[in-house]
């Protein structure tokens, strides 16, 4: 007598590669979305797209330039601390920090907007504040170490290892980079071709108009970051005479306001 065989099990459907898996919401309360672990998942997702071969080459060039400039400044035994602080303020905080923050920050959400893949994350039951925070945190995770190491090396070599100049460089670079990253993440979500518009802002406003007088400088992120550098290094920097407390408050407030705006924009955006 022949024993009937069981039919083979039906094949499982193939996973959709266009969707990213996030933890499911756990009984969200009215008006609030609870997504345990979503912030970490979003952070890792954004972080994976931050480092490309072209960006690594750019960061290597920046590190090399800063090292050479620091070595050249350090050869002067008379005013090397003052010269190092001036170069860190003008070239480092005024150009390198905003450009690195722009390249990384504008792409954090902007690339998803450009290629229309933001919808796959946007439709997930994830609080918009977590998506905004993950984008800023991922971009800052790359931008802050790159700029701090590059400018810190330039300050150390240029000032002959002056501890105050190095401390001011590290603090000013960290808070300035965080503020710029937050602003440029919002810009990448707000407009297309955010990299181009960001370069216009950096070169026309921060690098030229804000250096024309005290009134415009008060609306410049660079002015407050340079004020931290001037306060800690005890050196005078033109248009960088903001108070120490005011510099901390303004830079942190800019970061918070930009993050809040990104959250607001995500909550009201219509993603195709």
The pLDDT assigned to 29 comes to: 38
User: Which run of H or of E encompasses 82?
Assistant: helix 80-87
Task: Round to whole Å and give the CA distance between 234 and 48.
Answer: 40
**pLDDT tens for each residue of 42-83:** 888 888 888 888 888 989 999 999 999 999 998 877 678 899
How far apart are the two ends of the chain, measured CA to CA in Å?
62
The pLDDT assigned to 28 comes to 39
Name which of 166, 64, 61, 69 is nearest 103 in CA terms.
61
Do the Cβ atoms of 132 and 104 come closer than 8 Å? no
What φ, ψ does residue 192 adopt, rounded to 5°?
Answer: -80, 155
Average pLDDT of span 159-181: 95
pLDDT for 271 equals: 56
State the Cα–Cα distance between residues 221 and 206, nearest whole angstrom.
Answer: 8
**Residue 159 neighbours by CB under 8 Å, 6+ apart:** 73, 74, 80, 81, 84, 85, 165, 166
Residues 77-109 pLDDT 10s: 767 889 999 999 999 999 999 999 999 999 988
Written as one string, the DSSP assignment of 30-55 is TT----TTHHHHHHHHHHHTT--HHH
For residues 234, 171, 87, 194, the Cα torsion angle rounded to the nearest 10 degrees is -140
Q: What is the pLDDT of residues 115-130, one digit of tens each?
A: 777 777 777 777 888 9
Contact 211, 205 (CB under 8 A): no
- Whole-structure pTM value: 0.84
């Amino acid at each position: 007598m022949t024993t009937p065989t069981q039919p083979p099990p039906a094949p499982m459907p193939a996973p959709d590669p266009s969707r990213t898996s996030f933890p499911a919401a756990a009984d969200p309360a009215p008006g609030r979305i609870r997504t345990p672990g979503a912030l970490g998942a979003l952070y890792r997702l954004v972080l994976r797209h931050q480092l490309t071969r072209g960006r690594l080459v750019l960061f290597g060039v920046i590190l090399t330039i800063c090292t050479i400039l620091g070595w050249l400044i350090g050869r002067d035994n008379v005013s090397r601390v003052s010269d190092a602080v001036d170069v860190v303020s003008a070239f480092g905080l005024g150009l390198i920090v905003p450009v690195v923050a722009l390249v990384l920050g504008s792409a954090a959400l902007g690339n998803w907007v450009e290629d229309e893949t933001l919808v796959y994350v946007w439709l997930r039951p994830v609080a918009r504040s977590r998506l905004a925070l993950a984008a800023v945190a991922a971009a800052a995770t790359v931008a802050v170490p790159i700029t701090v190491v590059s400018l810190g090396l330039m300050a150390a070599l240029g000032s002959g290892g002056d501890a105050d100049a190095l401390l001011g460089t590290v603090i000013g670079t960290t808070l300035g980079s965080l503020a710029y990253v937050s602003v440029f993440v919002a810009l990448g979500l707000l407009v297309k071709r955010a990299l181009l518009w960001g370069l216009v802002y950096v070169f026309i406003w921060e690098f030229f108009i804000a250096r024309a007088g005290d009134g415009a400088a008060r609306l410049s992120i660079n002015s407050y970051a340079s004020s931290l550098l001037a306060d800690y290094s005890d050196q005078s920097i033109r248009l960088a005479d903001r108070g120490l407390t005011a510099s901390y408050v303004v830079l942190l407030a800019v970061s918070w306001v930009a993050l809040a705006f990104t959250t607001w924009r995500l909550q009201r955006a219509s993603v195709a």
